[in-house]
Amino acid sequence: AFSRRILGSIGLDGGSANVPALNAQSEITETILMDTEDLAFVANWHMNPDQTNKMWYNLQTMTQIAKGTSFVGLTNVNLIGSRGPLASVLEQLFQNVTMSILSEPSLQPNRSSPYAPQALTTLTVETLRPLEDIEPGAPPCRALAGAEDVVVVMRTGATEIKDKLPVHLNTTMRCYPDTLIFSDYAEVFEGEQVYDALASVDAHVKETNMDFAHYMRLQKVGREGLDEDELRDDTFDSGPIGKNDNPGWRLDKWKFLPMILRTLELRPQKKWYVFVEPDTYVVWSNMVKWLQTLNPSKASYYGSEVQIGEDIFAHGGSAFVLSNAAMRKCAEIYTSDPEEWHTRTAQHWAGDCILGTALTRASVPFTWAWPMFQGGNPVDMNWEEAKRERRLWCDPALSYHHFKAHEVDGLWAFEQQHILDLIAEREKSNRATSFFGGRDTILRHSDVFKAYIMPNISHERTDWTNLSPDLVEHSARTVKSVEARMEDCKAICQAKKTCLQELGKKLG
């Protein structure tokens, strides 16, 4: 429908009695495109015979004297009433045609059918707010529009909060319009209220289950009263079922369902709830746009799929998203029989699995959103990974996991520059992202690799490895110096096409 309006040709021919006449073989002359700066001269020809004769003469003269020189075009001298550049009006015309077609009665769904889709809540996605609406000193991410109905919920613990939360307070949480922080100890941390996720758990459970021994001690002595080794996460090794020897880690599984309940009490009217951990990084510029494409009235549950036995659920560390309707259904299931869910939690090791089980019981379907939600860190991900015909490389990036504080800071700075580039592009074009010719504003995993990871890969680095799966040791027990031995190793590596790095380390 759109192409039919703009295809064809417009030209001049001799007409009758060799009088030049406009020959339009296109419906474009019936559209608003004729009022643009680029095509207004055609309307002048059509409406003014004298102007037509003049243009006919100019065209004939130009073709005779050009002699290989590129023809630069005809200057349009009448721009009164112009609608502006052709590109802008062409985009608007396309939108109008599309909306007109979509409004046709024959294309509307049969609302009486039990399988009819729910009505769309919006047809547009706001990308950036006007710069004048952004508070002074705010980071570029505050220019992102559409996050007013979203709350980001962080789940942490007293043993890690001092090391892992400050970087978020200085970076990611400056972007979120609304944030809730849950831990196993209520406090005000660097000016932010931290809620006790376990406050509502039955006292009998706390007193009789050994998982709560750490919690009971924490409430007695406070976070500052914990021993140094209790505050170090690296003192506990991770096994097949996580860090089961870590008392803070064992306690964490109990937070999920009570946290859902408390979040609803604190933020009952939000449309979307994004749950994260301190070592999660959310690509906020993508998350905000993505959520605007979803229907918040449905009971929805999104994340990166994990399976334990027959239970399929969203991995907690990769971030997961729940709609308001899903939150309410989950809370209803939990409060209807908290004893059952406390028993289930005591017998399991993964709280995100217990949450997924409760959502399944509440008839909230899980939507597999890999590879947008990632359980890995960009520094050691398999960039060629693919599942169910979906390639990590091609998909938008919504989250990453296993981030250290400096990595959160680094990727956040990278994302802010990305947003600044979008703002600069908008200011340059004086409009939102162009439908035609506008560059893709979404950060895909491939963009993160090419623009963030690759530039940081240097020829030599200290205290770093590329995690090559197949290491071939080269004897270093010689009388040569370290420099000489590294040169030997380098020569061996360069001689093998499959060698990706040479690595030297101290022995003993």
Query: Could you identify the residue written with the tokens 């030599």?
Result: 460
Which of the four pLDDT bands, split at 50, 70 and 90, describes residue 402?
Answer: very high
Q: Identify the three-state secondary structure at position 460.
A: coil
Buried b (16+ CB within 10 A) or exposed e, 72-87: eeeebeeeeeebeeee
Instruction: Please identify, in words, the CATH class of the domain defined by 140-231+242-400.
Output: alpha beta
CA distances from 59 to 65, 73, 74, 283, 374 (A): 10, 9, 9, 55, 61
CB 299 within 8 A of CB 329: yes
Going by pLDDT thresholds of 50, 70 and 90, the confidence category of residue 112 is low
**For the segment 89-99, what is each residue's pLDDT rounded down to a tens digit?**
777 667 666 65
**DSSP-derived secondary structure letter, 242:** B
CA distance 115 to 83: 44
Q: Which residues of 8-23 are buried (b: 16+ CB within 10 A; e: fewer)?
A: eebebeeeeeeebebe
Q: What is the 3-state secondary structure (H, E, C) of 23-55?
A: EEEEHHHHCHHHHCCCCHHHHHHHHCHHHHHHH
- For 497, residues 6+ apart whose C-beta sits below 8 A from its C-beta are none
Q: How far is CA 337 from CA 255, 378, 388, in A?
A: 16, 41, 37
Q: Residues 320-332: pLDDT tens digits?
A: 999 999 999 999 9
Q: What is the mean pLDDT of the segment spanning 48-62?
A: 53
Q: How far apart are the first and last CA of the chain?
A: 75
Domain ranges (residues) in the chain: 1-47, 140-231+242-400, 461-507
**What phi, psi does 393 have (nearest 5°)?**
-55, -35
Give dist(CA 440, CA 460) in Å, integer.
33
Identify the pLDDT of residue 438. Answer: 44
Q: What is the CA radius of gyration of the chain?
A: 31
- Other Cβ atoms within 10 Å of 240 Cβ, number: 6
DSSP 285-335: HHHHHHHHTS-TTS--EEE-EEEETTEEEE-GGG-EEEEHHHHHHHHHHHH
Query: By the 8 A CB rule, do 203 and 190 touch?
Result: no
Are β-strands 311-314 and 320-323 bridged in parallel, bridged antiparallel, or unpaired?
unpaired
Place of tokens 């991900």: 381
- Which residues lie below 8 Å from residue 182, measured CB to CB, with a gap of 6+? 153, 154, 155, 156, 194, 195, 196, 197, 255, 259, 262, 263
- Residue 101 CA to residue 106 CA, distance in Å, equals 10
Pick from 147-156, 229-238, 259-268, 439-448: least confident: 229-238
DSSP secondary structure letter of residue 20: -
Segment 236-245 mean pLDDT: 51
Over residues 409-425, the pLDDT tens digits come to: 999 999 999 998 888 87
Asked if pLDDT for residue 56 goes beyond 60, the answer is no
For residue 118, what is the DSSP state?
Answer: P
Helices (H), 135-212: 161-170, 203-208
Closest of 374, 188, 182 to residue 278, by C-alpha: 182
Which whole-number Å values give the CA distances from 289 to 128, 149, 395, in the listed order?
A: 10, 13, 14
* 253 φ, ψ (degrees, to nearest 5): -65, -25
Q: What is the pLDDT of residue 76?
A: 47
The model's pTM is 0.70
Separation in Å, CA 404 to CA 12, 93, 94? 68, 49, 46
